[in-house]
Amino acid sequence: MRARFSKMQGAGNDFVVFDAIRQSIPVARVNWRRLADRHFGIGADQILIVESAEDERHDFRFRIFNADGGEVEQCGNGARCFVRFVHEQGLSAKPCLLVETRAGLIAPQLVEGGEVVVNMGPPRFDFAAEGFLAPSAFPPGALLQQGRIQSLEIHSPQAQSLEVQERQIRSVRIPSPHTGSPSDPAPAGLVASGSGTTAQAVSLRLDLLSMGNPHAVLWLHSPAPDALVEGLGPELSRNPAFAHGANLGFACLDRQTSVLHLRVYERGVGETLACGSGTCAAAALAIEHGWTGSPVHIHARGGKLRIDWAGGVAPVHLQGPAQTVFSGEIELPLH
């Protein structure tokens, strides 16, 4: 069975997009992992499927398959490519769409200058209530609460072998309940029973947030080096504490410029050049901590993104580019 597709990218996060409205796509039978393979398929971080909405009040349904073939809840960069695709393909002329995802409704919108803004909905700070944690897989006391932010301390043998030093991991200054001013630093990234490479147990403290999909953020003093992302990403994203895996953000915020340097190791994919929902999560956490205000400008490996969030229960807005690279036809690999 042959099918038409478009190859697209948003800040280097690349996708293969299929119109399943005007052509038949046997979604359950397609080997999406094979199709996403960069040697034996088209190659992509995710596969995006455009379907008719289940609710007639909405415009489309948006389905996302990771490079490992698993279906996931949300993809911010993919949502921007989604709205660009439906306009270029003549499926809609509406500047703002209501799109169904597994995580709920999103509202992507074309704006002047060719970029796309996506209303990603409000950040969800009660990570545990979202069902993304497996409480039996971590000890009592490992789940911490600071205001609305939940954090998890995870023992990391890989961090120990990578010779992670305390100076690489950012220390968060916790506001004093008496003065409202910063008190003595409490480690947000690294909690070690010892120092440097002699630590007997290295625990990484990860901030948790759901954007409809699970994100964990490790805060750093400086932009993440390759060794840190490549070494810790696979281990932490598959940690049994996360019931469905997690997307791991390695974040460094420049408070003077409100520029957030971010690399994300995505579950089921690996590191991508940008992660839309991951940028939303990291920016919302930085704002909630009180480290910066809105907007937050994200520098990812594949380009620049902008996050606007008014705080509270307001939705997070993700803005960035979306571009079609090429289009074609392929014989779908079926199971």
Residue with tokens 């948790």: 208
Query: Is 14 within 8 Å of 8 (Cβ atoms)?
Result: yes
In this prediction, residue 296 carries a pLDDT of 96
> Is position 81 annotated as part of the catalytic site?
no
The pLDDT score that the predictor gives to residue 170 is 53
- Among the listed residues 81, 252, 275, 280, the single catalytic one is 275
The residue among 286, 216, 223, 299 whose CA lies nearest residue 255 is 286
Percent of the chain residues topping a pLDDT of 70: 87
**Per-residue confidence band for 24, with pLDDT thresholds at 50, 70 and 90:** very high
Q: Which CATH superfamily is domain 135-314 in?
A: Diaminopimelate Epimerase; Chain A, domain 1 (3.10.310.10)
**pTM of the predicted model as reported, rounded to 2 decimal places:** 0.87
- Lowest-confidence segment of 181-185, 261-265, 321-325 by average pLDDT: 181-185
Q: Which residue has the higher pLDDT, 303 or 186?
A: 303
Q: Is the Cβ–Cβ distance between 106 and 243 less than 8 Å?
A: no
Number of residues in the chain: 335
DSSP count for the chain of H helices, then E strands: 5, 22
- Per the annotation, the verdict on 280 as an active-site residue is no
CB 318 within 8 A of CB 307: yes
2-121+322-331 and 135-314: identical CATH topology: yes
120-151 pLDDT, tens per residue?
999 999 998 899 999 999 988 999 999 999 99
Q: Note the pLDDT tens digit of each residue in 84-119.
A: 999 999 999 998 999 999 999 999 999 988 899 999
What confidence score (pLDDT) does residue 158 get? 76
User: Other C-beta atoms within 10 Å of 95: how many?
Assistant: 11
**Is 163 a residue whose pLDDT tops 90?**
no
- CATH of 2-121+322-331 among 3.40.50.300, 3.10.310.10, 3.40.640.10, 3.40.30.10: 3.10.310.10
- Quote the crossing angle between the two packed helices 276-289 and 76-88, to the nearest 10°: 130
* Element containing residue 279 per DSSP (H, E): helix 276-289
Cα–Cα distance, 68 to 32 (Å, whole number): 8
Query: What is the band of 190 on the pLDDT scale with cuts at 50, 70, 90?
Result: very low
Q: Tell me: the pLDDT tens digits for 265-285?
A: 999 999 999 999 999 999 999
- Per-residue confidence band for 71, with pLDDT thresholds at 50, 70 and 90: very high
Q: Report residue 162's pLDDT band, with 50, 70 and 90 as the boundaries.
A: low
Domain boundaries, the chain: 2-121+322-331, 135-314
More confident residue, 189 or 61: 61
**Catalytic-role residue among 75, 81, 252, 280:** 75
- pLDDT average, residue stretch 156-184: 49
Report, in this order, helix, strand and coil percent for the chain, each rounded to 5.
Answer: 20, 40, 40
**How far apart are the C-alpha atoms of 200 and 328, rounded to whole Å?**
54
d(CA 20, CA 305): 29
Q: Is residue 317 predicted with pLDDT exceeding 80?
A: yes
pLDDT(193) > 50: no
pLDDT in tens, 194-206: 334 444 457 789 9
Q: How open is the CA angle 18-213-229, to the nearest 5 degrees? A: 95
Tens-digit pLDDT profile for residues 211-233: 999 999 999 988 999 989 999 99
Per-residue confidence (pLDDT) for residue 300, from 0 to 100: 97
Both tokens assigned to 131: 């069902």
**pLDDT, the chain, mean:** 88
